[in-house]
C-alpha cells in the first residue's frame, strides 16, 4: 500500500475487506488508538468490526458497555461492532470443534490420547489464532480493526502458522494435536498469512509512548515483522507531555527528553508516516474523547487538553495525601530467610518492571545478600538499566555480590536440542541397532522443530536456576504477564509431553524436578511474586486478572504489588497534573483493596535510572526507611 499519511494507511481503498492491525507494548494506549480508529472509520460510513486478541481486553471500558466474546454492536456508534476474544473460551471451543468429528471414529483410549494432546500449552494460542483467522475471512465488513495482544505475543501468533504448516506436511502428531484434525484448516491458515503480507489489503500500525524502551520494542518488532514479509505502515506515539502544562524544571526536562525521542522516531521511521497524540489529564473513555483522538491522528485537528492552572492552595491541600512504602512489611517478603529466596517481578510491558527488579536486587546486594537477577523477557532492557553488558550466563554488574543474566532464546534452544539428542543416544544399550537409534533421533529432531520447543527450552533454562546454591536471592525479571503465566503453567500441563523425557531415561527425574520447582514457587517462605503496575486502569486490571489466574490455576498467591510512576507533589502545580494525581490516588485505593498485600511505591523519576548510582538513589526513594525501620511502622494509609 502506497501510504503517505496516517489517514491513507487506515482508510479502505478497495472493494475487498481490508484489515488494520494495532500493536505495541502493553499500556501504551494501543486499545485507545484502535478504538478511536474503528469509531472514526464507522462514522465515515465504513462497516467496521473491531477485534481484540489481547488477553486483558478493555474495549468494554472504553466504550462504556459490555462487549465480551461475541460480536456486539456498539450502542453510540453506527456501523461499528466489536468482540473481545476470550482465550479460555476460544480454547474450549477449539478443543470441542477438534474432538467432535472424532468421537464416532476413535475408541476411548484413542480419544483420551487426542484429549491429552489438546491439553498442550500451545492450544490456547492456536485457538486464539484460529478465531483471529476467522475474522481474516470476513466478507461482511468493509474493514476489520485488530487491537492485537502486546508485541511479543503478536509476533508469536504471526510466526506460528509457518511452523504449523511444516508439522501438518509431516503428518502424525504435533504439539497442537493430531495433524489430521488440522489439515482442513491448513488452507485457511495459508490464506491468512498471504493476506497479512498483502500491502493492498493489510496495514500494520505500531503504538508506543515517547519512552526509549517502548521505541526500541517497536524497532525490534518491526524488524521481526519484516522478516515475515509484513511491513510497518504507521507509527503512532501516544501520551507526550503538552508544552503548556510543563511549567517547572522537572517536567520541562521530561518533555525535552520526550521531544528528543520523537525526533529519533521520525529519523528511524522516515519511510512511514508518524502520528502523535498528547497526554490527557484523565483516561480516555467514551465517544467524545475517541473522536478527539481520531481527529488529531487522521484529520490534523488540534487536541483538546485542559491546561488551566490551579491555585497553589488547591495543590497544597492534597500534598499530604501521599502514600509511602511500608518498608518493614515489604522487606520481610523480599529478604531471604533460611534458604535461597526467589523473587518474581511481573506485569505489563512498559511499567518499569526491569527497573524495579534491578533496584530491588541492588538494595538486597547492598544489604550483604549474594544476589542474582535474571530476565526471561525476550524484549528486556536489563543491560540498559545496569549500564553494562548482561549475557546468557551470570556476570558481575559492578557490585560485590550482584550478578545478572539474560536468557537468550536462541542459545537456550540450541543447548536444549543438544541435551535432548544426547539423552536419546544415552538411552540406548549395546543391543540396539544403529537404525533404532537414528529412527528415534529423527523423531526427536522433528519434535524439537515444533513451534513449542523454543518456549520449552527457555523453561528448562529458567528451571535450572532453582538448583542455584551460590546466591541468597534470585530475582526474576519475568516477561510480560501473559507469557509469564504460560511459563509457570507449563510444568503441570507438559509433564512427559514436550520434555521428550518419555524417550529417554530422564522422564521421572524431569517430572520430579518440575514438581519441586512448582512447590518452591508456591511456598511464601521461599518465593515472592510481585506484580508491577502504574496506577491506571489497564495495567491494574491486567495485573489483577493475572494474579487471580496465578492463584486459581497454579495455586500461587501474590506477595507484593509495586506501583510505579507516582507523580511527585513538589512538581506540576497545575490543574492538569492535579487531575492525574487525583486519578492515581483513586487507583492506589483500588489496588490496595483488590490485592490486600503490602505495596512498594515508586515515584516518577526525571530520567530513567541507569547505572548503579542511579539505582541506589532510586532505592532510597522506594525504601525511605530502610536504614531505620521502626517495629511499629504503621500500615500504608491512602486518603
Characterize the bridge pairing of strands 177-178 and 173-174: antiparallel
Task: Tell which wins on pLDDT, 627 or 508.
Answer: 627
Orientation of helix 212-227 relative to helix 249-268, angle to 10°:
20
Residue 119's CB is within 10 A of a number of other CB atoms, namely: 14
Beta bridge partners of residue 175, listed in sequence order: 177
- CB contact at 8 A, 139 and 154: no
| Residues 584, 590: Cα–Cα separation, whole Å | 10
- Would you say the C-alpha torsion 60, 63, 66, 68 has a positive or negative sign? negative
The yes-or-no verdict on residue 481 having pLDDT over 90 is no
Task: Tell which wins on pLDDT, 145 or 412.
Answer: 145
| Residues 255, 242: Cα–Cα separation, whole Å | 8
Burial class of residue 2, CB neighbours in 10 A (0-12, 13-18, 19+):
exposed
Once rounded to an integer, what is the mean pLDDT over residues 351-368?
Answer: 93
Once rounded to an integer, what is the mean pLDDT over residues 230-252?
Answer: 92
Residue 470's CB is within 10 A of a number of other CB atoms, namely: 10
Q: Coil, helix or strand for 447?
A: helix
The residue length of the chain stands at 639
Task: Find the largest Cα–Cα distance for the chain.
Answer: 89
Query: 30: closest CA among 218, 196, 175?
Result: 218
Task: Tell which wins on pLDDT, 5 or 195.
Answer: 5
What's residue 485's pLDDT?
Answer: 55
The yes-or-no verdict on residue 169 having pLDDT over 60 is no
What's residue 73's pLDDT?
Answer: 92
Task: Tell which wins on pLDDT, 55 or 540.
Answer: 540
Query: What confidence tier does 316 reach under pLDDT thresholds 50, 70, 90?
Result: very low
| Residues 175, 182: Cα–Cα separation, whole Å | 12
The yes-or-no verdict on residue 449 having pLDDT over 90 is no
Least confident range of 191-195, 235-239, 431-435, 474-478: 431-435
Q: Coil, helix or strand for 123?
A: helix
Once rounded to an integer, what is the mean pLDDT over residues 381-403?
Answer: 86
What's residue 158's pLDDT?
Answer: 47
Residue ranges and CATH numbers for the domains of the chain are 6-87+129-299 (3.40.50.300), 327-360+377-622 (3.40.50.300)
Where helices occur in 281-321 by DSSP H, the ranges are 287-299, 312-318
Tens digits of per-residue pLDDT, 76-114? Answer: 899 999 998 887 788 888 888 878 877 877 788 877 777
pTM: 0.79
- CB contact at 8 A, 427 and 503: yes
| Mean pLDDT score across all residues of the chain | 79
Least confident range of 56-70, 81-95, 483-497, 572-586: 483-497
Highest mean pLDDT among 118-122, 362-366, 375-379, 442-446: 362-366
The yes-or-no verdict on residue 457 having pLDDT over 70 is yes
| Residues 421, 510: Cα–Cα separation, whole Å | 15
- CB contact at 8 A, 20 and 62: no
Characterize the bridge pairing of strands 395-396 and 402-406: antiparallel
What's residue 151's pLDDT?
Answer: 46
Here the cell at position 617 is 538513589
| Residues 109, 114: Cα–Cα separation, whole Å | 9
What's residue 351's pLDDT?
Answer: 84
Task: Tell which wins on pLDDT, 257 or 138.
Answer: 257
- Would you say the C-alpha torsion 389, 392, 395, 397 has a positive or negative sign? positive
Once rounded to an integer, what is the mean pLDDT over residues 208-232?
Answer: 83
Here the cell at position 61 is 471500558
Amino acid at each position: 500500500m502506497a501510504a503517505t499519511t496516517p489517514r491513507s494507511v487506515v482508510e479502505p481503498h478497495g472493494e475487498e475487506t481490508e484489515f488494520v492491525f494495532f500493536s505495541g507494548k502493553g499500556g501504551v494506549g494501543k486499545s485507545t488508538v484502535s478504538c478511536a480508529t474503528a469509531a472514526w472509520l464507522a462514522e465515515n460510513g465504513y462497516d467496521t468490526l473491531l477485534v481484540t486478541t489481547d488477553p486483558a481486553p478493555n474495549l468494554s471500558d472504553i466504550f462504556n458497555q459490555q462487549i465480551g466474546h461475541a460480536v456486539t454492536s456498539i450502542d453510540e456508534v453506527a456501523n461499528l461492532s466489536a468482540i473481545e476474544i476470550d482465550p479460555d473460551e476460544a480454547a474450549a471451543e477449539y478443543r470441542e470443534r477438534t474432538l467432535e468429528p472424532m468421537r464416532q471414529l476413535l475408541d476411548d483410549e484413542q480419544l483420551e490420547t487426542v484429549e491429552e494432546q489438546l491439553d498442550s500449552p500451545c492450544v490456547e494460542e492456536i485457538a486464539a489464532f484460529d478465531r483471529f483467522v476467522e475474522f481474516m475471512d470476513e466478507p461482511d465488513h468493509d474493514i476489520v480493526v485488530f487491537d492485537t495482544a502486546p508485541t511479543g505475543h503478536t509476533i508469536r501468533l504471526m510466526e506460528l502458522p509457518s511452523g504449523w504448516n511444516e508439522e501438518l506436511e509431516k503428518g502424525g502428531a504435533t504439539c497442537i494435536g493430531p495433524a489430521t484434525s488440522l489439515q482442513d484448516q491448513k488452507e485457511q491458515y495459508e490464506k491468512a498469512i498471504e493476506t497479512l503480507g498483502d500491502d493492498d489489503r493489510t496495514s500494520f500500525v505500531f503504538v508506543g509512548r515517547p519512552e526509549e524502551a517502548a521505541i526500541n520494542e517497536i524497532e525490534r518488532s518491526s524488524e521481526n515483522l519484516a522478516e515475515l514479509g509484513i511491513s510497518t505502515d504507521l507509527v503512532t506515539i501516544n501520551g507526550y507531555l503538552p508544552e503548556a502544562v510543563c511549567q517547572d524544571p522537572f517536567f520541562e526536562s521530561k518533555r525535552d527528553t520526550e521531544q528528543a525521542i520523537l525526533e529519533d522516531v521520525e529519523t528511524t521511521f522516515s519511510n512511514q508516516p508518524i502520528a502523535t497524540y498528547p497526554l490527557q489529564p484523565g483516561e480516555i473513555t467514551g465517544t467524545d474523547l475517541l473522536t478527539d483522538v481520531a481527529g488529531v491522528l487522521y484529520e490534523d485537528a488540534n487536541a483538546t487538553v485542559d491546561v488551566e492552572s490551579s491555585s497553589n492552595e488547591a495543590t497544597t491541600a492534597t500534598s499530604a495525601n501521599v502514600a509511602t512504602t511500608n518498608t518493614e512489611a515489604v522487606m520481610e517478603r523480599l529478604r531471604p530467610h533460611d534458604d535461597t529466596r526467589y523473587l518474581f517481578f511481573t506485569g505489563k510491558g512498559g511499567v518499569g518492571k526491569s527497573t524495579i527488579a534491578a533496584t530491588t536486587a541492588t538494595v538486597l546486594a547492598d544489604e550483604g545478600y549474594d544476589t542474582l537477577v535474571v530476565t526471561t523477557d525476550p524484549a528486556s532492557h536489563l543491560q540498559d538499566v545496569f549500564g553494562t553488558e548482561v549475557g546468557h550466563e551470570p556476570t558481575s554488574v559492578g557490585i560485590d555480590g550482584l550478578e545478572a543474566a539474560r536468557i537468550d532464546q536462541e542459545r537456550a534452544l540450541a543447548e536444549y536440542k543438544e541435551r535432548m539428542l544426547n539423552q536419546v543416544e544415552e538411552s540406548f544399550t549395546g543391543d540396539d541397532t544403529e537404525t533404532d537409534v537414528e529412527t528415534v533421533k529423527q523423531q526427536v529432531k522433528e519434535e524439537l522443530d515444533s513451534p513449542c520447543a523454543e518456549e520449552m527450552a527457555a523453561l528448562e533454562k529458567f528451571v535450572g536456576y532453582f538448583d542455584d546454591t551460590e546466591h541468597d536471592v534470585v530475582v526474576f525479571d519475568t516477561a510480560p504477564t501473559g507469557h509469564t503465566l504460560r511459563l509457570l503453567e507449563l510444568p503441570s500441563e507438559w509433564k512427559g509431553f514436550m520434555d521428550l523425557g518419555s524417550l529417554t531415561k530422564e522422564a521421572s527425574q524431569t517430572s520430579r524436578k518440575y514438581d519441586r520447582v512448582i512447590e518452591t514457587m508456591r511456598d511464601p517462605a521461599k518465593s515472592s511474586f510481585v506484580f508491577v503496575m502504574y496506577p491506571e486502569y489497564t495495567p491494574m486490571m491486567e495485573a489483577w486478572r493475572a494474579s487471580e489466574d496465578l492463584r486459581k490455576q497454579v495455586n500461587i498467591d501474590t506477595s507484593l504489588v509495586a506501583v510505579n510512576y507516582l507523580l511527585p507533589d513538589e512538581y506540576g502545580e497545575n490543574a492538569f497534573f492535579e487531575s492525574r494525581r487525583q486519578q492515581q490516588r483513586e487507583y492506589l485505593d483500588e489496588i490496595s483493596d483488590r490485592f490486600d498485600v503490602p505495596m512498594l511505591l515508586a515515584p516518577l523519576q526525571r530520567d530513567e535510572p541507569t547505572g548503579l548510582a542511579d539505582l541506589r538513589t532510586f532505592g532510597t526513594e522506594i525504601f525511605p526507611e530502610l536504614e531505620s525501620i521502626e517495629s511499629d511502622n504503621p500500615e500504608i494509609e491512602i486518603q
